[in-house]
Amino acid sequence: MIAWAFILACTSPPPLTEVTLTPSVVVPTTVQLSWTTEQSGRSWAEYGIVDDIGAGDLDRRTPTSLVAGTVHAAHLVGLPAAASVRWRVVTELTDGTQLVSEEQTHTVADVPAGFPELQLEVSEPTAQLQRGYVVTSLIENDGGWAVILDARGRVVWWYDTGHAGQPPPDLQIPGSVAWSGSSLPLNNRLDRTTGSVVMSLYDRQQAVDVATVRRIPLTAMSADDVVTTRMPSGHHDFVLHSDTSTVTWLAYQPARIDGRDWAADAVLQTTEGSQQGTVEQVVWTWLDDFDAEPELTTPDQDRFSYDLADFEWTHSNSLMWLPDVGAYFLMSKFLDCVVRIDADTGRHAWVMGGPFSDFTGPDGAPVWEDLDDSALWSQAHMSHLWLDPSTGRGGLAVFDNGKYRDPDGVGAPSRSRAVAYAFDESTRTVTEVWSATPGSGGFTNLLGDVRRLDASYLVSWSTLPEGIEEIGEDGTVLWRVAPTEDPVNDGLILGRVVWTEELPLP
């Protein structure tokens, strides 16, 4: 018996060594596990969440490493704040032998003091958000956060965009200008190709031009992993082209016309990661490529706070890209319209909505008569448009802020809503197919977002108490996460939203 034990001990593979867990300093809920083996193998980690409904079985697993080696690493991403996590690491050698570490427990970092508190209020069994994650942003008076919520409304990932007068460590500010106080995270995307949250930020006070697009890998361990791209005069929205490593964004375009200093918008492009503020391509501009002259059509146009101009013509706030179509789609808040811009020609193909609309209703009726007489939307925001290039039929989901919309013509208070449309490029017609209003019946002039899901819609109600909801096609609220405090009194704006079934890893 002693001889056999000696033989087995001599032939057994050496154990895993130097097994360590390192929390990220950028995204506190992300951790990196690292270990070494004497023999080459492919590796992964197994883990489970310990919470009030289970013991934390090791029911989750990271992707298996693509290349065999002796130095191994795995990232645990999407761990709920303050949760306990059981974990172990595994290496499978080339002969199929598995080396397994001892099981350990890690307590995830809790959200910082003052972090906005959210709670799950509705979760119906039929909700699509019973699974997956929601990517959004929480915008505060002195800064903001990029966040990911799980199906239970728990915060499982966050990135601080700068608070209390302190810019984020990855933001490079020219030495001759002063930081005015906060970085406004107006828009966010989930880039599945690079496994990153990508967001646009600029100075909330619009006092200095320090606008950036930041790509934060879900596995980011330090500020060195964050890719920052300067976007001169940038604001609101952007598109990251992962396939060409370029960033396209909305920028202010100033001009003096007929004795007035105007600001319109341009669509500009540069290489991702450029810190020089270089514009490599002008894709399209309102002043140079649109056949109209700026004019005052809304009381909001003379409230421009940036030093570039006294009046703002277009206030473009949304930019979308459909690669199968080869076109950008731009929304102007002040002109109540969406414009299709073909990338290969740099020209716009059509305008939907507003005073320059090429589209009508299905019966040929105009979709816009005046500022307070729009059949579509009034001063809206959006993130989601779809189009089949073979048929020219598509749709769009819009957050209709509704500032001047008075469909009953009785001077009723403004009311925001989520709405979806179907359109046909060949007939130039657009039809409303779905809408929902907040239970509070409220109005918000700030942001808001709608995305179509499989058989429902995901809505961010911005400053309204409903928070983020999944709403069925029949108007039933299927899922809701909302702030515990009144967002208006608390100075909180919920940003745009993206749903994903899995968290993509780079």
Sheet containing strand 327-332, edge to edge, reads 316-322, 327-332, 337-342, 347-352
- pLDDT > 90? residue 56: no
Task: Report the percent of the chain where pLDDT is more than 70.
Answer: 87
Q: What is the pLDDT of residue 6?
A: 40
* Reported pTM: 0.91
Mean pLDDT of 66-91: 94
Q: Which residues of 229-260 are buried (b: 16+ CB within 10 A; e: fewer)?
A: bbbbbbbbbbbbeeeeebbbbbbbbebeeeee
Q: What is the pLDDT of residue 183?
A: 58
Asked if the model's pLDDT at residue 191 lies above 80, the reply is: yes
pLDDT 10s digits, 136-145: 999 887 778 8
Provide the pLDDT for residue 488.
Answer: 66
In the predicted structure, residue 169 carries a pLDDT above the cut 70: no
* Average pLDDT value for residue range 237-265: 92
Model pLDDT, residue 363? 94
Domains of the chain: 2-107 (2.60.40.10), 119-500 (2.120.10.30)
CA dist 101 and 16 (Å) reads 6
Rounded Cα–Cα distance for residues 397 and 464 (Å): 19
Residue 472 and residue 457: Cα distance in Å, rounded? 6
Q: What is residue 3's predicted lDDT score, i.e. its pLDDT?
A: 45
Rounded to the nearest integer, the mean pLDDT of the chain is: 88
Distance CA 479, CA 104 (A): 34
Q: Is the pLDDT of residue 7 over 50?
A: no
